[in-house]
Structure 1
Amino acid sequence: MKSVAIIGGGITGLTAAFNLQQRGVPVTLYEGSGRIGGVIRTVHEDDYLAECGPNTILETSPLIGQLIRDVDLESRQLYTDPAAEKRFLVRNKKLIELPVSPLAFFGSRLFSWRAKASLLAEPFRKRSAGDLEESLADFVRRRLGGEFLDYAVNPFVAGVYAGDPEHLSVNHAFTKLYELEQRYGSLIGGQIFGARERKRRGAISKQNAKKISFDKGLQVLTDRLGEKLGEQVQLNHCVKRITGDSEGWRVDFENAGITSSSIHSSVLLALPAFRLADLELHCQNKRVDMSLLGEIDYPPVTSVVLGFKQQDISHPLDGFGVLIPEVEGFNSLGSIFSSSLFPGRCPVGHLTFTSYIGGTRSPELALKEKDEIVRLVTEDLRVLVGLSGKPTYTHCFCWPRAIPQYNVGYGKFKMLMEKTENRAAGVFIGGHCRDGISLGDSIISGYNAAGRIENYIKST
């Protein structure tokens, strides 16, 4: 049996390759760089642990726990400290705890009484036409009002997408919100009835999902997947062209300046959209053009990990972190209280933050020199958490093209990926530009792709 070619060594490609291996399907994973893991990158320096990309995996599906068990990492798995469940938002330059119950909401200083009254009226507002595509901002203004947009949705979107609710599509980026309105006519009613349905299905909402890491950081998972795959992982193999013919799918790749090729039964493209746009794909002597995917916006984001002496911070850091509304005028998008989440993130007597800067809000800030970025983030922390000292540790990592923006009109990109699979039978597309941007989404995407590929092989 010819092996399946997996193009891309991020978490989607690794998950798919490992799952196919478990099913007895031979695989070859091609990764263009010298490392696997994609956006998962953990750095260990001077007793500090710095996550350059995401900090946690949300356990929204049993498949995530299944993957951890299958690669024998249960003993190294960590859940966030229960004491770190609080989330903070900023209003009037001060941290305010995000309310998580009706009683806490109505007693919170985060929203005005006008905004609270507006929320009570939400169930009585008319739903939109089902075929209408709206920006998230327009959707929230219509259903909840401008204050919720500014002080809840805007910072949330900055923390998840590094994006702008004025551009993100509620239909594609926040599909569940759109479906709640369409099905129940109300977000509040949908949350109540949706929770009952999830309980019957055994599903877990993202709000209630456990947050996972490992004793030495998230890269433990991708490193272990690489170990399990062994020689099936081909690093520094940059795929240039894929051609379908009577023998199968020929993959042309370059390694150490030498171009070679290999024949495979099928192909999974687990690449970012800008890589898909440049890839030459040919089927039946015709090129399958994916250049449109190059229009998907990927704003730059820099992660900034800073360590400080515990005595230099007045805030107890008794939560997950803080998200910052754009109207508050800070430099950062938000900060995670990293040392409050998991043990072993910094030396004794110190604390660490992972902050993010740039995104659609201020892309130019992500591209500044390291010293300037550290200065900007430190200024924010002085105001927000009562910081008085200088950093004892700094680490910055810039992602020039960080997160795909599921903006209004994103449907045309998903349609193109679907048409590509239909035109080039045996080629599959997975990953964050198609199936959701979170690590959990990418793991599920890898599992689903493996299942589709196995079904294809059995049918041919």
Structure 2
Amino acid sequence: MMAVTKERRRIVIIGGGITGLTAMYYIQRAIDAENLPIDITLVEASLRLGGKVHTHRKNGIIMEKGPESFFDRTGSVKRLAQDLQIEDSIVGNALGKTFIALGNELYPVPPSLLAGDAPHISSFITSRLFSVSGKVRAAGDFFIPRTQLPVDQPVGAFLRRRFGAEIVENLVEPLLASVYAGDVEQLSLQTTFPELYEVEQKHRSLLLGMRKAQSSLFYSDIPKQGAGIFQTFKNGLETMVEAIEATLKPGTIRKGVRAEAIGHTEDGMAIQLSHNPTLYADDIVVATPYYVAQSLFEDKTMLQPLEAMTTATIATVNMVFKREQFDDLEALAFFVSRNSDLTITSCTWSNLKWPLTASEDYVVLRSYIGRVGDEAIVELSDREIEQNVIADLQQTLQVKGKPLTTIVTRWKNAMPQYTVGHTARIAQASEQLQQQFPNVHLAGSSFRGISIPECVAQGQAIAAQLVAAHKERLHID
């Protein structure tokens, strides 16, 4: 390896969520491995790193305030864990029953639909989730022709056409609300489940196509028999955030400092900060929510396509109970239909799904509240939220008494909505940015995937891109 010039390059990453942290880690790793003349700084407005990845550990009990697991279909998290030497601490979820709450009653979901298995028609026929007429309508999938619409159409409309309204209302919407907190009538099929469109175009029938492809309604890969498809770390998701932070050099992270504006200079770009000196950069990675990215440019027409984006506000409610407060119920989670009167949108038995979460003396329940069109609940006080959630749990699970501990965590405007047109909007915004700020790069959950693996993959990709570009500019072989 030979450097023809010693000119130093400057990279600044705005946003210390998992996307920005992953980019930071891999760029710093390349700098150290190849002795690259690059200076890198990460700026984070809050006093902690990790963004929505936030683990609470106390008295031997582990609770997730944000996301609680990941489905690592492409292996991006596994690669990160290997590089951080924490792969041995990855654990898979235990298996168990999942339910949908209709009214105050819990109905079991056909196991094949959630275990990653290809769905059997018998799953629909025997399920109590659907009426006889609903099951007959679902069988229409075998006969209905392919859609003539493009892939960028609402998920709800696409699946309703194939299976009928009852399948969408009693199964699809509750499950997807737990992931996107959104409205299936607005979510983009192209951005969320393009593989369903491809299966339909190839096989016509989704059910027959998924059987042939050995894929499921929501997951494109089938795990090994008896294995759960979700993963986390033994000591919580924040393990990977802590592992990354431990590798970063002192002085390269600025917490509690907000980036306020990005502008051009004679030889690069300048980032105006809320306090501390102005930062100068040759490349900037903006790994923030889309509305923060928009605010960074004086030209208010910059990133204008993103103005059509929206977000959902949600909250997680973790509760710890004594085991004797529950009757026996073999379950991992239940999801709530919009037709229900319940406040919560989903509830997970964290200690059953992840046995290392707590000892057998306790039950740890993790509930979500809030979704598009139903966000006022999040604005209530912690006490009011706790009362509402307890009332829901008493109706559905016959919980006895009150929890020992309750932790309410609000995530305001935290769930970007990938509505129809999302892919085109991101492409237009990126093109606009390229024209005026070619060395500013967008990444994160607002743009090309909201899951942890998708955000990690974005961080890995942008790091590889920037390192390669700087090596080319600096004539390093």
CA shift digits 1:150-174 (9 cap, x unpaired): 1111101211111111222222233
The residue number in structure 2 matching 1:236 is 256
- Match of 2:62, SS state, is strand
Q: CA, structure 1 residues 445+189, in 2 after alignment: closer, same or farther (shift >3 Å)?
A: farther
Assess if the C-alpha contact under 8 Å between 2:306 and 2:426 holds in 1: no
Q: Distance in 2 between matches of 1:450 and 1:205?
A: 30
Q: Distance in 1 between matches of 2:222 and 2:198?
A: 14
Specify which of 273, 291, 305 is matched with residue 253 of structure 1: 273
Assess if the C-alpha contact under 8 Å between 2:76 and 2:453 holds in 1: no
| Root-mean-square deviation over aligned CA pairs | 2.5
The residue number in structure 2 matching 1:352 is 364
Taking only the aligned residue pairs, the percentage that are identical comes to: 24
Q: CA deviation at 1:8?
A: 0.7
2:80 aligned with 1:60, yes or no? no
- Match of 2:263, SS state, is strand
For structure 2, the residue ranges without an aligned partner over 5 or more in a row are: 1-7, 113-118
Q: CA deviation at 1:248?
A: 2.6
Q: CA deviation at 1:244?
A: 3.8
Q: Distance in 2 between matches of 1:382 and 1:302?
A: 20
Q: CA deviation at 1:448?
A: 1.6
The residue number in structure 2 matching 1:200 is none
TM-score between both structures, scaled by the size of structure 1: 0.89
- 1:364-379 equivalences under 5 Å are 364-379=376-391
2:417 aligned with 1:397, yes or no? no
Assess if the C-alpha contact under 8 Å between 1:426 and 1:456 holds in 2: no
Specify which of 68, 84, 89 is matched with residue 100 of structure 2: 89
Q: Distance in 1 between matches of 2:310 and 2:207?
A: 32
Number of equivalent positions = 445
Specify which of 416, 419, 427 is matched with residue 440 of structure 2: 427
Q: Distance in 2 between matches of 1:169 and 1:62?
A: 24
2:231 aligned with 1:212, yes or no? yes
- Match of 1:23, SS state, is helix
The residue number in structure 2 matching 1:115 is 134
The residue number in structure 1 matching 2:19 is 12
Q: Distance in 1 between matches of 2:74 and 2:221?
A: 7
- Match of 2:249, SS state, is helix
For structure 1, the residue ranges without an aligned partner over 5 or more in a row are: 198-202
Q: CA, structure 1 residues 210+140, in 2 after alignment: closer, same or farther (shift >3 Å)?
A: closer
- Match of 2:210, SS state, is helix
Q: Distance in 2 between matches of 1:455 and 1:383?
A: 57
CA shift digits 1:204-263 (9 cap, x unpaired): 4699873222232111111111111232222122112223445233322233xx4x2233
Assess if the C-alpha contact under 8 Å between 1:276 and 1:291 holds in 2: no
Assess if the C-alpha contact under 8 Å between 2:151 and 2:189 holds in 1: no
The residue number in structure 1 matching 2:178 is 159
Q: CA deviation at 1:404?
A: 0.4
The residue number in structure 2 matching 1:22 is 29
Specify which of 437, 454, 459 is matched with residue 467 of structure 2: 454
TM-score between both structures, scaled by the size of structure 2: 0.86
The residue number in structure 1 matching 2:116 is none
- 1:36-435 equivalences under 5 Å are 36-81=49-94, 83-84=95-96, 86-99=97-110, 100=112, 101-102=119-120, 103-131=122-150, 133-195=152-214, 204=221, 210-231=229-250, 232-255=252-275, 258=276, 260-280=277-297, 289-316=302-329, 318-423=330-435, 424-435=437-448
Q: Distance in 1 between matches of 2:472 and 2:411?
A: 40
Q: CA, structure 1 residues 107+131, in 2 after alignment: closer, same or farther (shift >3 Å)?
A: closer
CA shift digits 1:143-198 (9 cap, x unpaired): 1100001111110121111111122222223323233333443322432344489x
Q: CA deviation at 1:415?
A: 2.5
- Match of 1:305, SS state, is strand
